[in-house]
Amino acid sequence: MGKNLTSRAEDYSKWYNELVVKSDLAENSGVRGCMVIKPYGYAIWEKMQAQLDKMFKETGHENAYFPLFIPKSYLSKEASHVEGFAKECAVVTHYRLKNAEDGSGIVVDEDAKLEEELIVRPTSETIIWDTYRKWIQSYRDLPLKINQWANVVRWEMRTRLFLRTAEFLWQEGHTAHATREEAVEEAEQMMHVYAEFVEDYMGVPVIKGTKTESERFAGAEETYCIEALMQDGKALQAGTSHFLGQNFAKAFDVKFANKEGQQEYVWATSWGVSTRLMGALVMTHSDDNGLVLPPKLAPIQVVIVPIYKGLDQLDAISEKVEPLVKELRAKGISVKYDNRDTHKPGFKFNEYELKGVPVRLAIGQRDLENGTYEVARRDTLQKESVNASEIVAKVETLLEDIQRNIYQKAFDYRAEHITQVDSYEEFKKVIEEKGGFVSAHWDGTAETEDKIKEETKATIRCIPLKAEVEEGTCIVTGKPSTQRVLFAKAY
């Protein structure tokens, strides 16, 4: 199969869009702004979901499910929350259709107007906190740590597969605590859980930090984030965790009796990652030949391709390969033996390279006679011949090495693209010509933040958690600053 991918250097955005479609991850649907996640793409998401779910449960969280629809009045209870999402909400106004009297088709039944409009959830804080009012009465009911795997709708006008779609899949955690300290600890913990997953499983290095006030989640007192850097020098927010204070507890009257019997409002957090992580996975590691997938998340970790003439040779190869497939699977390695007779080996090599399968084994008549396999690794495209007796150990080593190697490559790229600047002119030059993260002093005001965004399209991605205290002056206003923040253009 011919890849015919636009190169990254030629047009990075076009390369990404083509790769997502041609590698069978996803495609645009008949609904404007919404996508179809194809089986190969969904298999990656399932692996992400399974690992994250395990990590959530290990930190004491349970799964539940809440309604897709939210009464409009709920959204208006927390002022900054509704303001943050109002422009993205899809609204249900009627509950029935009917045939048009003139026979022209189906129309909305005007007599079936809802008494109160329903919002298709853009996020579930409001419906969940209305529910928590019934679940929480006493300090014995706390902490309450719930996660939901769901779809949400945010009516985006400019969409791109995985990165920004009107409907997307995600998880959203919502917790309630007796004290401020517990809630802050929870929000920070989940940021670290996300960072561990993204780095250890996706192979994507991230920077942990907090958002500025203007970039915080609507209704949050603090937003913690992990920021990643894509190969085109743009940042991507990979996950967020929010300390909500008592804002939602007060809006929905969620109180508990403390140990002294006094009524207090609970303290809250929420946190989430979405199928946007799929976009990060593609953009961080892939190359002009196709996907490069981390072995820990690849649906197929090893593919075996027979090279043969006639059914006799195929039967002999299959007899040799069958016990190897069983042995690899017994070690938890996902293997595909592609013995289709409808496609030639060259087509298959191209297909699995495009789909980012980490390790490819090929075996032909000569390999059968010599007791060898040809082994190709996707990340470096290197090939070697390996004795059949050593192949299982070789595959195990390769999978670990590829996982480590793609992380290191991404880490090195990011290290080369964090630039420290001390003047606005230098800032604008780096943003425009080099890209990546720019570390600079900022005076802490929204006005300066807005000015920089308007003039350069760069935003403050985060205030790094491990940023050193450093006396300096804002690159725009010259006002005093005590630490640098990270700017970048972003998805």
In a shared domain, residues 272 and 132: yes
In a shared domain, residues 281 and 381: no
3-state secondary structure (DSSP) of residue 331? coil
What distance in Å separates the CA atoms of residue 192 and residue 224, rounded to the nearest whole number? 10
In a shared domain, residues 160 and 220: yes
Alpha carbon distances (Å) from 389 to 361, 375, 392, 394: 14, 13, 8, 10
CATH number for the domain harbouring residue 138: 3.30.930.10
CATH number for the domain harbouring residue 459: 3.30.110.30
In a shared domain, residues 314 and 246: no
Contact 210, 223 (CB under 8 A): yes
Using the 3D structure, point to which of 285, 312, 331 is the last residue of a domain: 285
In a shared domain, residues 233 and 137: yes
- pLDDT value at position 371? 97
The predicted-structure confidence for 43-69, as pLDDT tens digits, reads as follows 999 999 999 999 999 999 999 999 999
- pLDDT value at position 157? 80
DSSP assignment of 424-435? HHHHHHHHHHT-
What distance in Å separates the CA atoms of residue 230 and residue 44, rounded to the nearest whole number? 19
Residue 466 confidence (pLDDT) above 90: no
User: Which residue bears the tokens 């892939």?
Assistant: 286
In a shared domain, residues 252 and 363: no
Residue 3 confidence (pLDDT) above 80: no
Q: Which two tokens stand for residue 304?
A: 């075996």
Instruction: Check residues 85 and 107 and name the one with the higher pLDDT.
Output: 107
> How many domains does one find in the chain?
3
Range scoring the smallest mean pLDDT among 3-7, 16-20, 213-217, 430-434: 3-7
The H or E element that residue 400 is part of is: helix 391-416
Using the 3D structure, point to which of 356, 371, 402 is the last residue of a domain: 402
Percent of all residues in the chain with a pLDDT value above 90, rounded to a whole number: 95
Residue 369 confidence (pLDDT) above 80: yes
In a shared domain, residues 348 and 476: no
Confidence of residue 274 (pLDDT cuts 50, 70, 90): very high
Backbone angles phi, psi at 308, to 5 degrees: -150, 160
In a shared domain, residues 220 and 185: yes
- Asked whether residue 102 is assigned to any structural domain, the reply reads no
Q: What is the mean pLDDT of residues 162-176?
A: 97
What distance in Å separates the CA atoms of residue 239 and residue 324, rounded to the nearest whole number? 39
Percent of all residues in the chain with a pLDDT value above 70, rounded to a whole number: 100
Q: List Cβ neighbours of 131 (8 Å cut-off, separation of 6 or more).
A: 66
Confidence of residue 76 (pLDDT cuts 50, 70, 90): confident
DSSP assignment of 91-147? EEEES-EEE-TTSS-EEE-GGGEEEEEEEEPS--HHHHHHHHHHH--BGGG--EEEE
Q: Where are the beta strands (DSSP E) in 154-292?
A: 167-177, 207-210, 222-229, 235-245, 255-257, 263-265, 267-274
- Asked whether residue 269 is assigned to any structural domain, the reply reads yes
Is the pTM for the entire model greater than 0.85? Answer: yes
The predicted-structure confidence for 15-43, as pLDDT tens digits, reads as follows 999 999 999 999 999 999 999 999 999 99
CATH number for the domain harbouring residue 316: 3.40.50.800
- Asked whether residue 10 is assigned to any structural domain, the reply reads no
- Asked whether residue 291 is assigned to any structural domain, the reply reads no
- Asked whether residue 113 is assigned to any structural domain, the reply reads no
Contact 429, 461 (CB under 8 A): no
- pLDDT value at position 78? 83
In a shared domain, residues 314 and 352: yes
- pLDDT value at position 425? 98
The H or E element that residue 412 is part of is: helix 391-416
- pLDDT value at position 40? 98
Residue 195 confidence (pLDDT) above 80: yes
Instruction: Give the chain's mean pLDDT.
Output: 96
Using the 3D structure, point to which of 351, 374, 402 is the last residue of a domain: 402
Q: Are strands 459-464 and 484-488 parallel, antiparallel or unpaired?
A: antiparallel
3-state secondary structure (DSSP) of residue 82? helix
Contact 278, 41 (CB under 8 A): yes
3-state secondary structure (DSSP) of residue 166? coil
DSSP assignment of 259-321? TTS-EEE-EEEEEEEETHHHHHHHHHH-BTTB----TTT-S-SEEEEE--SHHHHHHHHHHHH
In a shared domain, residues 313 and 204: no
Residue 1 confidence (pLDDT) above 70: no
- Asked whether residue 433 is assigned to any structural domain, the reply reads yes
- Asked whether residue 87 is assigned to any structural domain, the reply reads no
In a shared domain, residues 352 and 437: no
The dihedral of CA 250, 251, 257, 259: what is its sign?
negative
- pLDDT value at position 134? 98
Residue 396: which domain range?
302-402
353-378 b/e with 16+ CB inside 10 Å = b? bbbbbbbbbbbbeebbeeebbbbbbb
The predicted-structure confidence for 279-329, as pLDDT tens digits, reads as follows 999 999 999 999 999 999 999 999 999 999 999 999 999 999 999 999 999
The predicted-structure confidence for 377-432, as pLDDT tens digits, reads as follows 999 999 999 999 999 999 999 999 999 999 999 999 999 999 999 999 999 999 99
- pLDDT value at position 423? 98
In a shared domain, residues 259 and 309: no
214 secondary structure, DSSP code: G
- pLDDT value at position 83? 84
Residue 80 confidence (pLDDT) above 90: no
- Asked whether residue 424 is assigned to any structural domain, the reply reads yes
